[in-house]
Amino acid sequence: MVRVLFIQHQDDCPPALVGDRLAMLGATCEVVEARARRLPEPTGFDLVVPLGSDDSAADESVPYLHREWELLDQAVRAHVPVFGICFGAQLLCRVLGGSVRAAPGGPEIGWLPVETSQPDLVEPGPWMVWHLDVMEPGSGSVEIARTPVGVQAFTHGPHLGVQFHPEATATSVRVWAEHYRSSLDRLGVAPAALLAETVDRAGAAMQRAYGLVDRMLRHVGPVRSAAFPGNHDPTVPQS
């Protein structure tokens, strides 16, 4: 049985569409809170997925940061693929020798297209982008997608980090718009308009997220990818 470990940092950033697709493909998904007193050993899993957070991956005072860093470092050393999402991608970037800093122009939020050098892995979008920091991949990592603000995706061997939120749903965006209204106000983004756009894009966003999961599984390597026999046609949901 293929096992996937999700590291969740807060209630409004669950596995959502990414978890749905992996479960649809037959994976056993385990979700652990980053603040748990003890994190599991990543070597017991076929894939590790650290999720988003409103904390900064560059903030050394974040109480769980170093324990999660150790988990990701152990996964990398043991050749367990990591699929980092937003904060998870930023922390993975740091573990792999890169850096994270505050976005010089402030938050980047919205359904945005990305420039991509590997559309067979990461489509141009639009993707739900919502972040305050930017990442600079280190040596050995390959930038594969970006917006004018910064890097949106990178690979490092079997590992993939995406700055955007493929897992996002209308429910999560609604909560983010309520909790982080100041960021939207700073950008002049109307919460109601953002939510309406999210609802309008829901079907296409789900298919795009499923497709990214499928392609990510093929990227991590033939042995692990072969364990997901249904990951060949993201336009046809499978159970």
* Inside any domain, residue 66: yes
* Inside any domain, residue 77: yes
3-state secondary structure of 32: strand
For 121-157, what is the HEC assignment? CCCCCCEEEEECEEEECCCCCEEEEECCCCEEEEEEC
* Inside any domain, residue 139: yes
What's the pTM value of the predicted model, to 2 decimals? Answer: 0.93
* Inside any domain, residue 191: no
**Residue 21, domain extent:** 3-106+114-168+204-226
| Alpha-carbon distance values, 155 to 16, 67, 94, 146 (Å) | 22, 23, 13, 13
The tally of domains found in the chain comes to 1
Q: Which class for 34: exposed (0-12), middle (13-18), buried (19 or more C-beta within 10 A)?
A: buried
3-state secondary structure of 176: helix
The pLDDT score that the predictor gives to residue 224 is 55
Question: CA-to-CA distance for 113 and 14, rounded, in angstroms?
Answer: 23
* Inside any domain, residue 178: no
Q: Is the CB of residue 8 less than 8 Å from the CB of residue 15?
A: yes
* Inside any domain, residue 120: yes
User: DSSP letters of 50-88?
Assistant: E---SS-TT-TT-TTHHHHHHHHHHHHHTT--BEEETHH
**Average confidence (pLDDT) per 10 residues, the chain, 239 residues:** 94 97 96 96 97 96 97 97 98 98 93 96 96 96 97 97 97 94 92 96 97 95 54 42
The pLDDT score that the predictor gives to residue 221 is 72
**Closest residue by Cα to residue 24 from 50, 48, 2, 52:** 2
The pLDDT score that the predictor gives to residue 234 is 40
The pLDDT score that the predictor gives to residue 107 is 92
User: DSSP letters of 100-115?
Assistant: EEE-TT--EEEEE--E
The pLDDT score that the predictor gives to residue 216 is 96
* Inside any domain, residue 24: yes
Instruction: Centre a 10 Å sphere on the Cβ of residue 71 and count the other Cβ atoms it contains.
Output: 25
Q: What are phi and psi of 127, to 5 degrees?
A: -120, 150
CATH of the domain at 8: 3.40.50.880
* Inside any domain, residue 175: no
The pLDDT score that the predictor gives to residue 236 is 36
The C-alpha R_g of the chain, in whole angstroms, comes to 16
User: DSSP letters of 214-228?
Assistant: HHHHHHT-HHHHHT-
The pLDDT score that the predictor gives to residue 125 is 86
